[in-house]
Amino acid sequence: MIDIRIRKNLQSAQGRMDLHLDMSLAAGQFVTLFGASGAGKTSTLRMLCGLMTPDAGHITTTQKTWFDHRRHINLPPQQRNIGYVSQDYALFPNMTVRKNLEFALDKKQSGTIVDELIDIVELGELQYRKPGMLSGGQQQRVALARALVRKPDLLLLDEPLSALDREMREKLQQYILDVHRKYQLTTLLISHDVGEIMKLSDRLYEIQDGRIVREGTPADIFGLGKSSARFRFTGEVTGVQKADIVYIVTLRIGHDQVKIIADPSEAADLQPGDKVAVASKAFNPVIRKI
């Protein structure tokens, strides 16, 4: 369990913003932070890592206190045992894949974890290449493996897949899910991608202007609680057309264009560019803005 109670005064483009977060991450949970740009998501991750100091509050794990303002405790990043993967892979360009991973080993640690991780994220054939000779998706697999070398108590993922195309994202999502389960990690992800959130997370926190405005399971927050998980897609509206008393909503779902019949109340606030979920309820598709 990681208990987070932090306050931080941030300087946003609109003036000051008070980040005020109370959240608990249960051991083994996959939690996502979701919210508009500038809401305070990356600042939260930086405070968990020890790269930014909160003005007040505490961050405690079951074994250790990482930060406690009143008790003047503020452990440096290297004592927090956190794995961090950001959008820009941040690999050492002059080292091979294998060396990038070995460099992350603790002095007392055996190297067997490096072989294990190379195996899990399928980097065997690429292990003697340097990052400049890898695709974005391959580099991100290296970054993910490197973040796991020290078996972190907490894995932080700051939009790690946003620079990749959809196909690559889906593959990487599966690697992330596999390592999360295999190493029983507690994982905190920042993501804007509803499909990704639905696939990966147990719990979702929505942040707006530094405050938590909603928390729950992704299905509850996106209003899909009672829908069938077997028939559930997320997509983007590309058109809404009136046809007699109903509307035809055209959606882009993955690489496909799909047309769905919607009643006037469902179609009322839909516009091209809106992200929507399509699910079925008693075998009838329902469409809802998310």
Ligand X SMILES: Nc1ncnc2c1ncn2[C@@H]1O[C@H](COP(=O)(O)OP(=O)(O)OP(=O)(O)O)[C@@H](O)[C@H]1O
In the complex, the residues that contact ligand X under the rule CB under 6 A are 10-13, 17, 35, 37-43, 52
Residue 40 or 195: which CB sits closer to ligand X? Answer: 40
Residue 240 or 290: which CB sits closer to ligand X? Answer: 290
Angle, CA of 80, 34 and 181, to the nearest 5°? 55
Residue 131 to residue 97: CA distance in whole angstroms: 7
Residue 129 to residue 37: CA distance in whole angstroms: 35
Distances (CA, A) of 186 to 5, 112, 154, 160, 182: 17, 22, 5, 16, 11
Query: How many residues comprise the chain?
Result: 290
Q: How far is the CB of 134 from ligand X (least distance, A)?
A: 25
The secondary structure of 192-228 as a DSSP string is --HHHHHHH-SEEEEEETTEEEEEE-HHHHTT-TTS-
Q: How far is the CB of 123 from ligand X (least distance, A)?
A: 28
Q: How far is the CB of 17 from ligand X (least distance, A)?
A: 6
Residue 48 or 104: which CB sits closer to ligand X? Answer: 48
Residue 131 or 210: which CB sits closer to ligand X? Answer: 210
Q: At 124, is the secondary structure helix, strand, or coil? A: helix
Residue 34 to residue 22: CA distance in whole angstroms: 15
Q: How far is the CB of 210 from ligand X (least distance, A)?
A: 8
Q: How far is the CB of 63 from ligand X (least distance, A)?
A: 27
Residue 143 to residue 85: CA distance in whole angstroms: 6
Residue 126 to residue 46: CA distance in whole angstroms: 31
Residue 95 to residue 286: CA distance in whole angstroms: 51
The one-character DSSP state at 149 is T
Q: How far is the CB of 190 from ligand X (least distance, A)?
A: 7
CA distance between the termini of the chain: 30
Residue 45 or 101: which CB sits closer to ligand X? Answer: 45
Q: How far is the CB of 162 from ligand X (least distance, A)?
A: 10
Q: Report the DSSP beta bridge partners of residue 190.
A: 33, 158
Q: Report the DSSP beta bridge partners of residue 258.
A: 251
Residue 17 or 188: which CB sits closer to ligand X? Answer: 17
Residue 10 or 73: which CB sits closer to ligand X? Answer: 10
Residue 42 or 138: which CB sits closer to ligand X? Answer: 42
